[in-house]
Structure 1
Amino acid sequence: MKFIVRTFAFILLFFIQNASFSQVKNIGIPDIKNYKRSEYKGGTQNWSIDQDKNGNIYFANNSGLIQFDGSNWHKYSLPNKSEIRSLKIDALGRIFVGGNNEFGYFKNDEKGILKYHSLYNLLSPIDKENINLIWRIHIFKGEVIFQSFSKVFFLKNEKVTTLTAPHKFQFSFLVNNRLYFQDKTLGVLEYKNRKLTAISGTTVFNDKEIWSLFPLSNNRVLYATLEKGLFVAENGIIKPWATEANEFIKKNTSLGGSIIKNKFIILNSVLDGAIICDLNGKIIQHLNRQKGIQNNTILASFVDNKNNIWLGLDNGITFINENSPFSYFDYSYNIGTVYASTTYNGNLYVATNQGLFYHPWGTSFKDSPFMRVEGTISQVWNIQVLNNVLICASNSGALIIENNRVSKILDTRGYFGFKKIPDHENYIIGESYNGFSVFKKSASGYDYMHQVKGFDETTNNFSVEIDENYLWLKKNPFLYQVKLSEDLQRFDFIKKHINISDKFKGINSLQNINGKVYIQVQNHFFRYSVEQESFFEDKKITKLFNGIPTINTLIEDPAGNLWYVFNESLGVLVKNKNGSYTKNQAIFSNLSGNLVNNYISVNTIDPQNIFIGLTDRLAHYNSTIPNTFMTKPKAIIESFSYPEDTILTGNLAHKLESYSIPYKYNRVKFTFASPTYENQENVMYSYKLEPFEENWRGWSSTAMKEYTNLREGNYVMKLKVRNSYGIESNISEVEFTVSPPWYRHFLAYLFYLMLILLGAYLISVRVKLKIRKNRYYETIEQRRLYLEKESKIRHEQHDLEKEIEKLKNDKLQIKILAKDKELVNNSLQVVKKNKVLNGIIHKLKDIDTNILDETTKSEFSKLHKSIVKEVNTDKSWKDLEKHIKNVHFEFLKRLKGQYPTISPRELDLSTYLLMNMSTKEIAEIMNISTGGVELARYRLRKKLGLNKKENLIGFLMSI
């Protein structure tokens, strides 16, 4: 029994989830993204849309085929440059297109580039006549069918056959695996077994253009006509579809549409955008120019693989994020920056920067703009329901709202908000621009009582909470602990805190959880103990925020869910029935950066209706819609290029094998894509090139990377994508090889090795020859050195002998000079002796011999004769003169050669001077006076040309 119950519950839950998953929200409008011609670089009109298995979107455009992969747009033209009116993609990835007198398909070549293959050229000349535009393409039972107004072409097994229209075709439709054609005369025809069979009763459409057929329940079929509205066929009876959707189409005309999960129908219009209705014809959503679409003429609509909607417009393309739990009220609903919202007496009230607005709120939400509450035209900070009274805090003061107008102005000072006062049931305290005021409940709502004394600081950006003991205020960087007097007239106690914990510094937020005031510091939650007069940590609450970035604001909604803000992002801890909490954070990532700082507004009416205030609109969030839309993104390396070639890897059906590029083109470029069309601005890429990079690059929205001057080797480019919900994709990669330059190629290295070996061999041979030659020359050199040494020794011996001889000569010369000196001295002694003897002779002459006896006279005569004989026979002087001339012959020769006019007497004087004889000695030798010697010296100096400063003897020695 339990098994049956569980199975039933599972099946019920499955159907509920699928119903929610395919649900189109009737509150607000989904997120809309418009693409202009300047972005997709194509023509204005987009007639048909389809999607391939990689998620790329294709558009049949006036200028050709447009491809979009989430990051980049590509355009492909037909050979005749014709517009494309229809397209369809088959399971093989072929993109069939139809234009004016041209049809065929685009298919990727080996480099991923879409190449066109024409089928028109396969037709016979007769079949080529009068084709005009191909308006519809269907893939039906193994055939690809191309339909124009005059003919239908069937492609099967690469062969084309033709079927001519009975009269004239309008359009064709594939519904519930059945193919229909509208003939202008025969009505709607069904194609079976290559035959056309008329559908009974459909000739009523002969004066109408049918643009689409939709399946309804109970085998009913809905016909959408251009100008006559919507018709339903049931059991062969065709009648107008009496619904509000039909009224819209009759008023705005229809250009067909699409169906969402067989639950909702998209109807395109010419004049007023598109509507989404249920299968009963009730309009759920109306999307037009006023709601954010850039053009009101919808030529085509398409539901992609995530149940989001693409619209092909008369001028542009629009993406609608339908498969999301979020919808929005923006400027088209008269909503600007939202500071607070609440519901009261069947209305939804929104506090904005332009006043207070309201909209009827009930079981059925009517799609219409919000209306301004009469009397509110300035900044509104808060709107609250206190004791069943709707009270507004605005720049104009504290206001009571009744019947959608200001019924009472409590105080004209600006207010930020109001709080109930514990233990004072009928009193509330208001936070004004310069302090606090007390209000009392009355029959007319509330009455202003008085301003609370003791605290009159400006409270802008304050967080205010009240418990049974204190009023707590947080204004960075302080926390104020304030106590109201019993009569509420003043603040009896004010204490300012900078830190409440020794371990954690600062104060991050002030909040009320389960009726208790908490102060949060770095995700640690503290309460105040009145008994201990200190703060203590509530570790149970703190544990809830483990792994969550440091929050700056926390709000508890009526259901007990904890909404928190961190880094301008929103998250929620959803309270379960058993008291535990479930973190839900990623789903709100699309709101990051759009929250109103310091004025976070979350209004939880019920799980299906949660309103969140944003800087430029009000968001509606349905938490019961499962997050199956948060799928893992796909990372695509769209292209891989280098200067010589480009490979569109994103278009390849199979993974690109390792590709080789020449070294001279070692500059590569990659472009990235991810067919993730929701919140594209938040799609991030991370990549790395192995082995060039070790770590992944930081997340970036840049969808391109270029590398230059890569060395040769094998490389792997890896890419991963993170979508707006923080979900990462699997890794996509492309392998390639940079070939080495010719001088670093394997064959080059082999050649280098051979050269090295040959070189080594030649060097070895040359070294051996060199060694032999060196040995020969070494022998020769040794012999030369030996001979040189021997010659040197001989030369040195000769020089030594000469030196010895010179020394001998010098010694001999010294001896000769000594002998000369000795000889001169002896000669001088002889001269002196002769002089003495001559003196004696003269004295002897003066002696009178007559007085001498004969004996004495005879002896005297003998003596005189012997002395005269001695003087006359002494040749010492002549020998001296001769000897001096012989010794100094070379000197006298050089002197006479240099000075030919020199006299013999001057030559003798020069010789005596060279011999370093004194003036007195020279005078004695030359037998002249010393004055005569000086005179002779003077004359000699003059003849030799010497000045007074030059030394005569030194000059003679230099000759």
Structure 2
Amino acid sequence: MGLPFSKYYSSQDYVGGIQNWKITQSAEGLIYVANNFGLLEFDGTNWERYTLEKGTKCRFVYINSQGRIYAAGQGDFGYFIPDENGILHFISLANKLPDSIRNFDETWRIYQQNDQLVFCTFDDIFIFNQQDEFVRAIDPAYDPESFHMVNHKIYINQYETGLSVLDSDSLKLIRNGDFFKNKTVTSILPVANEQLLISTYNDGIFISTSNGYKEWSPENNDFLEKAAINHAIRLNNGRIAIGTQNEGVLILNTEGNIELHLTNGKGIENRTVLSLFEDIQGNLWLGHNNGISMIELNLPFTHANEQIELPGTGYDALLKNDTLYYGTNNGLYFKNIKKREAELQLVENSTGQVYSIENIDGQIIMGHHNGAFAVSHGKANLLAPIAGTWTFLELRGQPNYVLQGNYKGLALFEKTVKGLKFIRKLDGFQESSRVMQEDQNGDIWMTHGYKGVYKIQLNKNLTGVEYKYYGTESGLPSTVLINVWRVNNRLIFTTERGVYRYDKSTDRFIKDDFFNEMLGPDSQIMSLSEDPIGNVFYASMKEIGVLEKQPNSTYEKHTDIFNRLDLLLNDDLQNLITLEANQVLFAAKEGFIHFNNQMPKTINHNFSTIINSVKLSSSEDTLTLGGRYIIDNTIKFEQPKVKIPKVSFNNNAIQFSFSAPFVEGQNDTKYQYWLENAEPGYSEWSNRMLKEYSNLKEGKYTFHVKAKNIYNQLSEPVSFSFVILPPWYRTPLAYSIYFILLFGVLATTFYAFEFRYKKKTEILTEEKEKELTRMDTELKSSEQEIERLKNEKLKAKIELQNKELATSTMHLINKNGFISHVKTNLNTIIKRSKNQEVKHEINKIIHNIDKNIASDNDWEHFSIHFDQVHGDFIKRLKSNYTNLSPQEMKLSAYLRMNLSTKEIAHLLNISVRGAEIARYRLRKKLNLDRSENLQEFILKY
């Protein structure tokens, strides 16, 4: 009924060369294409291109179970592997070949057979082991024409000999292999009972039998020969896809019948298909001579539009027997859907807007902008020139009549043997009547697009109508966007805010619990239709879906699969047409979209999110990290713990590029992301595939991202952890330096304060010492003064004592001198006197005088005063020289007083000579040498 959804990528889209020789897919869902400009990679949204070592054309790509991407091209072959930054780079294995065989032309195929890798060129076949070591080369007798791997066997076609199989180091012709001599084999596919289906470039397709080979599809063989088969694959559903040089792509069933034919202008943009690949989501990829196509064969939708010669916006459709009628704004078209070769045709006289198509008693009736028409034998015949015929309603209460709704009201038609016949316009109602239904009571309900609801009743003579208007006062939430539908033989009314039903007992509208529970209390249904087995299809402002009726009369709701129709449906005159059970047409902006409800509606494809790259930026440069890692010799997109990068603070602006390799509705894939330790949680869903962060602080971060595809399928989150190192001034070393500096500053400050304190203390101490010294000095001065005063007083006292002693001594000397003089005079008198009595008396006087002079009382008194003046001289001398006589002690005292010998003689009452003799004797007792002066010794003692 249409063509599958498809997407075409031009060479400008993928920024590569025109020819695409091989397509494959990684476990993560990334698409890889061997292109003239190198290896193309597609993540569902963006294309990336990688070049081989010599920048040559890429002819083949193969991905092994470890994720290593092998590529073959002109004069080279090898593999792509991520470097230390996770970015793919090419390593050539051809460089390991001996020089004698290194100069080959092109490598066209890569196969893994057991533990060996086989690289096939049109000259030699090179064998490598799993350790990337060259094992051997095989040089066939004739140049190979093509290579194929089936059931772990490598088949090689040689134009001169036919089809052979690679057996160890040689080629062995298979049974009846010479059948393909002088033929170009393009594909070999396994089928049931160990049979092989072998396609050739321009000799058709053959299937192996016990007797040889026979044509597989004789009725299509001529067409296939002319189409020139480039490639064929077997799809997961068992069908065969064939890519041709001249006729695009064909889908054949197991019997060899063509079920689908897509070619230039009819489903695809380029008629030459060089390669085919079915991805893990069931989409068929075509590598064209110029461009790449993706055909969504797994969807239950097909699109009937201008590519099948159906122009315009879809309005209404009708299936009668095997003929399908399409009504668009350009006219009415029809086609026999049972005949693949049948072409779509325009109904004559139908050009213009076709609003409705009805099968009334076997007659096709068309509601048209120009009036009501009956369609027969490819021609539309005018029934009534009533402009703007919206719809027709067969009346249950009047089974012979049909009510027509038009721009200006209502008209009545009658069923006759010859078909529908116009009777009259009906009086009493002039509102535009596009949507109408009749209830079990014969009341006709018409809903207006922006005025509300009308309940209409025909008068008895069928010339006019009476009506009652219902608006918000009757329980409706508003008067706009109200439609009436028949579901399960009862009427429901869809509004701006939910589904309502009419309650006859109150003559009001009330909410319909069943549909509001199934569709949502505020759903705004724009179109609704029930198929013959009770499935309810609907389209609302928020979603499109089906309430699939179950055997127990309950309903199961499906919506996700219909998300693929977003933005495709007619948003003017929405319509949903049930053709037959489980077969529905949606009126679309371009033609119609057919939905087959018998195909799976639950999408559970492999769906994952990957982080493609991480860019670390600074003011000077940018470092790009790819998302690939080698873990246990396997390439993965999961970051291992040992690969957490530490980023300098200068690179604290980071950009993440991520994708979800899911091509269906690729522009509707949404993402949520979250930078742990920088954001509180996941963001809102958005279509952004890049996220940038700048001015991140130092610390450990983990970036999380997950995706949701068009079918609301969620991927598992993936993450990337990294560490932003602190700036140099916030590193541990810096903090150590800061600590040391701080310690130094504190220590310096402490020592400065301590120095100041010590200095101050020293100053205070010095000042105190000075003060103490001053005070001590003053004290000493005072003491000295006191001492001086004492000394002066003592000196004065001593002087006084000396004076007294001197006076006493002088007095004593004078007294003794006087007495001696008196005694001398008395002795003279005695000598002169003759009188004895006088002499006697004078002698008595002389005796008393001698007695007075000899008395020690004066000496005792003298010695006391002398010791006080001369520091106990007499006591010390007497203590040290015990052998001194009193007379010698007196002599020593008088010598201490520095008296002359004459004065000493007077005091001792001896002669001067006697005094000198006494001095001599004293020297001896004092044990003085001759050299020592007695006077000086006595003075120093």
- Normalising by structure 1, we get a TM-score of 0.75
**Alpha-carbon displacement from aligned partner over 1:167-224 (angstroms, at most 9, x marks no partner):** 2211111112222111233321112334321113222322111111122323322221
Q: Which residue pairs with 1:649 in the alignment? A: 627
Q: Which residue pairs with 1:854 in the alignment? A: none
- Residues 484 and 309 of structure 1: CA distance in aligned 2, closer, same or farther (over 3 Å): same
Q: Which residue pairs with 2:335 in the alignment? A: 359
Structure 2 residue matching 1:86: 3-state secondary structure: strand
Q: Matches of residues 162-173 of structure 1 in structure 2 within 5 Å?
A: 162-173=137-148
Number of positions where the alignment pairs a residue of Structure 1 with one of Structure 2: 752
Q: Which residue pairs with 1:146 in the alignment? A: 119
- Residues 542 and 76 of structure 1: CA distance in aligned 2, closer, same or farther (over 3 Å): closer
**Alpha-carbon displacement from aligned partner over 1:349-397 (angstroms, at most 9, x marks no partner):** 1111110111113xx4515442111220111011112333321101121
Q: Distance in 2 between matches of 1:589 and 1:437?
A: 39
Q: Which residue pairs with 1:216 in the alignment? A: 191
Structure 2 letter corresponding to 1:155: F
Structure 2 letter corresponding to 1:254: I
Q: How far is the alpha carbon of 1:751 from its aligned partner? A: 2.5
Instruction: Tell me if the contact between 1:569 and 1:593 (Cα under 8 Å) persists in the aligned partners.
Output: no
Q: Which residue pairs with 2:748 in the alignment? A: 762
Structure 1 letter corresponding to 2:206: F
- Residues 153 and 552 of structure 1: CA distance in aligned 2, closer, same or farther (over 3 Å): same
**Alpha-carbon displacement from aligned partner over 1:284-328 (angstroms, at most 9, x marks no partner):** 111111213221111111111222111111111111111111111
Q: Which residue pairs with 2:379 in the alignment? A: 405
- Residues 596 and 777 of structure 1: CA distance in aligned 2, closer, same or farther (over 3 Å): farther
Q: Which residue pairs with 1:53 in the alignment? A: 27
Q: Matches of residues 88-487 of structure 1 in structure 2 within 5 Å?
A: 88-129=62-103, 131-157=104-130, 158-160=132-134, 161-261=136-236, 263-335=238-310, 336-361=312-337, 364-366=338-340, 368-459=342-433, 462-467=434-439, 468-487=442-461
Q: Which residue pairs with 1:872 in the alignment? A: none
Structure 1 letter corresponding to 2:436: V
Q: Distance in 2 between matches of 1:105 and 1:493?
A: 79
Instruction: Tell me if the contact between 1:568 and 1:597 (Cα under 8 Å) persists in the aligned partners.
Output: no
Q: Distance in 2 between matches of 1:525 and 1:703?
A: 39
**Alpha-carbon displacement from aligned partner over 1:686-739 (angstroms, at most 9, x marks no partner):** 212122222322222221121111111111111111111121211111111111
The answer to whether the aligner puts 1:575 opposite 2:549 as a matched pair is yes
- Residues 631 and 611 of structure 1: CA distance in aligned 2, closer, same or farther (over 3 Å): same
Structure 2 residue matching 1:564: 3-state secondary structure: strand
- Residues 100 and 571 of structure 1: CA distance in aligned 2, closer, same or farther (over 3 Å): same
**Alpha-carbon displacement from aligned partner over 1:472-518 (angstroms, at most 9, x marks no partner):** 32322522333332333222233241343388897754332223222
Q: Which residue pairs with 2:595 in the alignment? A: 621
Structure 2 residue matching 1:218: 3-state secondary structure: helix
Q: How far is the alpha carbon of 1:773 from its aligned partner? A: 5.1
Q: How far is the alpha carbon of 1:342 from its aligned partner? A: 1.1
Consecutive unaligned residues in structure 1, runs of 5 or more: 1-26, 783-959
The answer to whether the aligner puts 1:81 opposite 2:55 as a matched pair is yes
Q: How far is the alpha carbon of 1:600 from its aligned partner? A: 2.8
Structure 2 letter corresponding to 1:85: R
Q: Distance in 2 between matches of 1:503 and 1:241?
A: 64
| Range with greater deviation from structure 2 (442-451 or 654-663) | 654-663
Instruction: Pick from 60, 65, 72 the counterpart of residue 39 of structure 2.
Output: 65
**Alpha-carbon displacement from aligned partner over 1:441-490 (angstroms, at most 9, x marks no partner):** 1122111111121221344xx53333223433232252233333233322
Q: Distance in 1 between matches of 2:398 and 2:169?
A: 85
Structure 1 residue matching 2:696: 3-state secondary structure: coil
Q: How far is the alpha carbon of 1:53 from its aligned partner? A: 1.3
Q: Distance in 1 between matches of 2:747 and 2:476?
A: 82
Q: Matches of residues 740-819 of structure 1 in structure 2 within 5 Å?
A: 740-771=726-757
Consecutive unaligned residues in structure 2, runs of 5 or more: 630-634, 769-941
| Range with greater deviation from structure 2 (45-54 or 226-235) | 226-235
Instruction: Tell me if the contact between 1:339 and 1:601 (Cα under 8 Å) persists in the aligned partners.
Output: yes
Structure 1 residue matching 2:561: 3-state secondary structure: helix
Instruction: Tell me if the contact between 1:498 and 1:506 (Cα under 8 Å) persists in the aligned partners.
Output: no
Instruction: Tell me if the contact between 1:243 and 1:282 (Cα under 8 Å) persists in the aligned partners.
Output: no
Looking at CA atoms only, which structure, 1 or 2, has the larger radius of gyration?
A: 2
Q: How far is the alpha carbon of 1:252 from its aligned partner? A: 1.5
Q: How far is the alpha carbon of 1:560 from its aligned partner? A: 2.3
Instruction: Tell me if the contact between 1:327 and 1:621 (Cα under 8 Å) persists in the aligned partners.
Output: yes
Q: Matches of residues 36-51 of structure 1 in structure 2 within 5 Å?
A: 36-51=10-25
Q: Distance in 1 between matches of 2:367 and 2:544?
A: 25
Q: Distance in 2 between matches of 1:78 and 1:683?
A: 32
Structure 1 letter corresponding to 2:87: I
- Normalising by structure 2, we get a TM-score of 0.76
Q: Which residue pairs with 1:941 in the alignment? A: none
| Range with greater deviation from structure 2 (523-532 or 640-649) | 523-532
Structure 1 residue matching 2:741: 3-state secondary structure: helix
Structure 1 letter corresponding to 2:245: V
- Residues 537 and 46 of structure 1: CA distance in aligned 2, closer, same or farther (over 3 Å): closer
Structure 2 residue matching 1:685: 3-state secondary structure: strand
Q: Distance in 1 between matches of 2:145 and 2:237?
A: 25
Q: Distance in 1 between matches of 2:655 and 2:676?
A: 15
Structure 2 letter corresponding to 1:167: Y
Q: How far is the alpha carbon of 1:258 from its aligned partner? A: 1.4
- Residues 266 and 502 of structure 1: CA distance in aligned 2, closer, same or farther (over 3 Å): closer
Q: Matches of residues 878-893 of structure 1 in structure 2 within 5 Å?
A: none
Structure 2 residue matching 1:185: 3-state secondary structure: coil
Q: How far is the alpha carbon of 1:597 from its aligned partner? A: 2.5
Q: Matches of residues 803-842 of structure 1 in structure 2 within 5 Å?
A: none
Structure 2 letter corresponding to 1:760: L
Structure 2 residue matching 1:757: 3-state secondary structure: helix
Q: Distance in 2 between matches of 1:111 and 1:156?
A: 27
Structure 2 residue matching 1:154: 3-state secondary structure: strand
Q: How far is the alpha carbon of 1:106 from its aligned partner? A: 1.2
Q: Which residue pairs with 1:679 in the alignment? A: 665
